[in-house]
Amino acid sequence: MTADLLAWLNLGVRWLHVIAGIAWIGSSFYFMWLDARLKADETTPKGVQGDLWAVHGGGFYHKRKYLSVPPDMPDDLHWFKWEAYTTWLSGSALLVLIYYLGAPTYLIDASRMDLASWQAIGIGLGFLAGGWILYDALCRSPLGQRLRLFGVVWFLILTGAGFALSHIFSSRGAFIHLGAIIGTVMVANVFLVIIPNQRKIVAAMLAGQPVDPALGKRGKMRSVHNNYMTLPVLFLMVSNHYPMVIDHSLNWLLVAGIGLSGVTIRHFFNRRNAGVSEPMILVGGVFIFLMVMLVAIGTKPKPAEVAGVVAFSEVQAIIRKHCIACHSTSPTDPAFAMAPNGVAYDTEADIRRYAPRIHERAVATDSMPLGNPTGMTAAERARLGAWIQAEAK
């Protein structure tokens, strides 16, 4: 009963996270597009940066951006903040439900670092807090005014964090925490900088006092940072579906490359929205992704040589020893009320049906079993692989 409730709670919180994340990222993309499309001419009123006419859903819209504050504050002013807050709160709830409550299964890999659950959780929280503190300090330093150099330094810091986490946690735990670092930085930008600065601007206007233009400038800078971090964080949130990346021996480097590809592609669209067509930027983003793919394939370990023919009975024994606790119609692992993704290996037909999946998860990579609590050996993985390849032929 408890396992069923946790499974439904997981579903509900994950669904909320997806909905809120779409709303947050959608508004980020929209406002970056809107800022780039605003135009000014001789008819533009003083104090207005520009305006834009648009049509959508059968209606016409007139949008205008003021350089500082409008001459009259409207009674109904929308604040774009709850999309960000809900995304982070729901993501944090998932982090706790899956990776902290299930730390022995999802977070800890004893072959990398043999940690108690409280130690692993403490390290994870330390990385989240440390990521924000370091990022915010860089923004407030002279480096924060040099946008391109700042981007390079922040990218290298995140790459270093990915390298460190991949040697502390399981692959899943490592890269979900890297995504959580970026997500925490993004929501802290909203909660601690963008919204407070906007409130100060509104308060100064209502009090009839001059508005400090630096408030808007700092908020805009953090908003732009958030926009460029959206695609990398999206990949990290789904990275556990791609074991050929996160379970690769160079996983931290592959993730860094995919993140850089995302930033480059985002930059292409931001420039395009501003009316500047630079297709080579897009080509560069695609090229980086292709290079990541080639590196991953080119450095993939060759399967070990296996002597003799592997019988199905041996394969079934290996699977029963290492996989059936989770992948069964009646799992014995307390972390699962039902087989993950409905994949069960109870019968010979099940094993043959899911052989390609077994190869991907337990032979080509060591993503399964999670955390390898049963101590599945390289020789056993090779025997599985030899049988699957023979079956494929």
Q: What is the DSSP string of 316-379?
A: HHHHHHHTTTTSSSS--STT-SS-GGG---SSHHHHHHTHHHHIIIIISS---STT-TT---HH
Answer yes or no: do 190 and 131 share one domain. yes
CA distance 98 to 17: 14
The beta-strand segments (E) located in the chain are 48-56, 59-66
**Do residues 377 and 370 touch, judged by C-beta distance below 8 A?**
no
Answer yes or no: do 257 and 151 share one domain. yes
What is the mean predicted confidence (pLDDT) over 244-254? 91
CA dihedral of 223, 48, 38, 227, whole degrees rounded to 10: 0
CA distance 59 to 389: 59
**Do residues 227 and 32 touch, judged by C-beta distance below 8 A?**
yes
Between 168-177, 185-194, 336-345, the lowest mean confidence (pLDDT) is in: 336-345
What is the average pLDDT value for the chain, to the nearest integer? 87
Check whether 335 has a pLDDT greater than 80: no
3-class state of residue 197 by DSSP? helix
Does some domain include residue 127? yes
Answer yes or no: do 324 and 269 share one domain. no
Does some domain include residue 54? no
- pLDDT tier for residue 176 given thresholds of 50, 70 and 90: very high
Check whether 1 has a pLDDT greater than 60: no
pLDDT of res. 301: 77
Check whether 272 has a pLDDT greater than 70: yes
Alpha helices in 247-325 (DSSP H): 251-273, 279-298, 312-322
> pLDDT (tens digit, 9 = 90+) per residue, 184-202?
999 999 999 998 988 888 7
Answer yes or no: do 12 and 129 share one domain. yes
Check whether 162 has a pLDDT greater than 80: yes
Indicate the residue among 263, 298, 333 that finishes a domain. Answer: 298
Check whether 292 has a pLDDT greater than 90: yes
Helix axes of 2-37 and 251-273: crossing angle, nearest 10 degrees: 40
- pLDDT tier for residue 135 given thresholds of 50, 70 and 90: very high
CA distance 153 to 157: 6
Give the Cβ contact number of residue 165 at 10 Å. Answer: 24
Nearest residue to 81 (alpha-carbon basis) of 184, 194, 180: 194
Does some domain include residue 332? yes
Q: 332 in the Ramachandran plot: left (φ > 0), alpha (ψ -120 to 50) or beta?
A: alpha
pLDDT of res. 68: 66
Does some domain include residue 63? no
Residues 6+ apart with CB under 8 A from 167: 112, 113
Number of domains in the chain: 2
> pLDDT (tens digit, 9 = 90+) per residue, 146-160?
888 999 999 999 999
Cross-strand bridge partners of residue 65:
50
Does some domain include residue 169? yes
Helix axes of 213-238 and 117-140: crossing angle, nearest 10 degrees: 150
Please give the backbone phi and psi of residue 347, each rounded to the nearest 5 degrees, phi first.
-115, 170
What is the mean predicted confidence (pLDDT) over 264-276? 89
pLDDT of res. 393: 63
CA distance 70 to 342: 56
Answer yes or no: do 236 and 360 share one domain. no
Instruction: Give the residue numbers spanning the domain of 347.
Output: 312-392
Q: 315 in the Ramachandran plot: left (φ > 0), alpha (ψ -120 to 50) or beta?
A: alpha
- Residue 59 DSSP code: E
pLDDT of res. 43: 76
Answer yes or no: do 124 and 15 share one domain. yes
What is the mean predicted confidence (pLDDT) over 269-288? 91
Does some domain include residue 91? yes
pLDDT of res. 36: 81
Answer yes or no: do 369 and 292 share one domain. no
Indicate the residue among 269, 298, 327 that finishes a domain. Answer: 298
Answer yes or no: do 83 and 171 share one domain. yes
What is the mean predicted confidence (pLDDT) over 25-47? 82
Indicate the residue among 271, 298, 325 that finishes a domain. Answer: 298
Between 151-155, 263-267, 373-377, the lowest mean confidence (pLDDT) is in: 373-377
- pLDDT tier for residue 2 given thresholds of 50, 70 and 90: low
Check whether 69 has a pLDDT greater than 70: no
Answer yes or no: do 345 and 251 share one domain. no
Give the Cβ contact number of residue 231 at 10 Å. Answer: 20
Bigger pLDDT: 359 vs 251: 251
Query: What is the percentage of the chain residues whose pLDDT exceeds 90?
Result: 38
pLDDT of res. 392: 64
Check whether 288 has a pLDDT greater than 90: yes
Between 35-39, 66-70, 136-140, 221-225, the lowest mean confidence (pLDDT) is in: 66-70
CA dihedral of 25, 29, 31, 35, whole degrees rounded to 10: 160
**Do residues 29 and 231 touch, judged by C-beta distance below 8 A?**
no
> pLDDT (tens digit, 9 = 90+) per residue, 87-97?
999 999 999 98
Rg (the chain; Cα; Å): 25
Answer yes or no: do 261 and 323 share one domain. no
Does some domain include residue 307? no
pLDDT of res. 370: 77
Answer yes or no: do 267 and 387 share one domain. no
Does some domain include residue 48? no
Check whether 205 has a pLDDT greater than 80: no
Between 4-13, 24-33, 106-115, the lowest mean confidence (pLDDT) is in: 4-13
Give percent helix, percent strand, percent coil of the chain, each to the nearest 5: 65, 5, 30
Answer yes or no: do 191 and 267 share one domain. yes
Bigger pLDDT: 384 vs 237: 237
3-class state of residue 301 by DSSP? coil
pTM: 0.85
CA distance 152 to 383: 44
Kindly state the tokens that stand for 278: 């630079």
